[in-house]
A and B are shown apart, each in its own frame.
Chain A
Amino acid sequence: MPTLDLILEVILLTVKVAVLTQIIFALPMPLTWLERKIAGHIQVRLGPWRVGPHGILQPFADAIKLLFKEDIVPDKADKILFKIAPLIAMVPAFAVFAAIPLGDTFKIPVIGAEVKLYLSDMNVGALYILAIGGLSVYGMILGGWASNSKYALLGGLRCSAQMISYEIAVSFAVIGVVMLSNSLNLLEIVKSQGGSFLSWNFLYLPVGPVWFAIFLIGSVAEINRIPFDLSEDEGTLSSGYHTEYSGMRFSFFMLAEYVAMVTVSILSVIFFFGGWNAPFAFLSFIPPIAWFMGKVCFFIYFFMWVRFTLPRYRYDQLMKIGWKILIPLSLVNILITGLMLI
Chain B
Amino acid sequence: MFEQFFFYIFATVAIVSAICVISVRNPVHSAVFLIVCLLQVAAIFVLLRSPFLAAAQVFIYVGAVMVLFLFAVMVLDMGKAHWKEHLHGQSAPAAVLAGILFILLGYMALKGRMTAPLGTYNEAALVKNTEVVGRALFTKYIFPFEVVSVILLLALVGAIALVMREKRP
Contacts and interface: CB of A to CB of B under 8 A. Distances in A.
Given A122-B51, A145-B74, 11 more contacts: A81-B29, A124-B52, A124-B55, A128-B51, A131-B63, A153-B74, A157-B71, A160-B74, A164-B71, A167-B64, A171-B59
B59 A123 contact: no
A157 B75 contact: yes
Interface stretch (A136-144, A266-274, A285-293, A296-304): A136-144
A195 to B, nearest CB: 25
A164 B129 contact: no
**Looking at chain B, what size class is its interface with the partner chain?**
20 to 34
12 contacts: A123-B51, A123-B127, A123-B128, A123-B130, A127-B56, A128-B51, A134-B62, A135-B63, A142-B28, A153-B74, A157-B75, A161-B71
Contact of A156 (B26, B35, B74): B74
B1 to A, nearest CB: 11
B55 A127 contact: yes
Contact of B55 (A128, A138, A153): A128
Interface string A150-185: 000100110011011001000100000000000010
**Looking at chain A, what size class is its interface with the partner chain?**
20 to 34
Contact of A134 (B29, B63, B71, B127): B63
A157 B74 CA distance: 8
B32 interface: yes
B47 interface: no
Given A134-B59, A145-B28, A145-B74, A127 B67 contact: no
A131 B62 contact: yes
Interface of B: 26, 28-29, 32, 35, 51-52, 54-56, 58-59, 62-64, 67-68, 70-71, 74-75, 78, 127-130
Q: DSSP class of B's interface residues: helix, strand, loop or mixed?
A: helix
A141 B59 contact: no
Contacts of B55: 124, 127-128, 130-131
A174 to B, nearest CB: 11
A132 interface: yes
A132 B35 contact: no
Q: DSSP class of A's interface residues: helix, strand, loop or mixed?
A: helix
B11 to A, nearest CB: 21
Contacts of B130: 123-124, 184
Contacts of B58: 131-132, 135
B32 A81 contact: yes
Contacts of A130: 55, 59, 63
| For the complex of A and B, 5 pairs with smallest distance between CB atoms | A134-B63, A131-B59, A131-B58, A127-B55, A160-B71
A134 B74 contact: no
A141 B67 CA distance: 8
B67 A163 contact: yes
Interface string A107-149: 0000000000000001110011011101101100110010000
Contact of B129 (A123, A145, A153): A123
B65 to A, nearest CB: 10
| Residue of B26, B51, B55, B74 with most partner-chain A CB within 10 A | B55
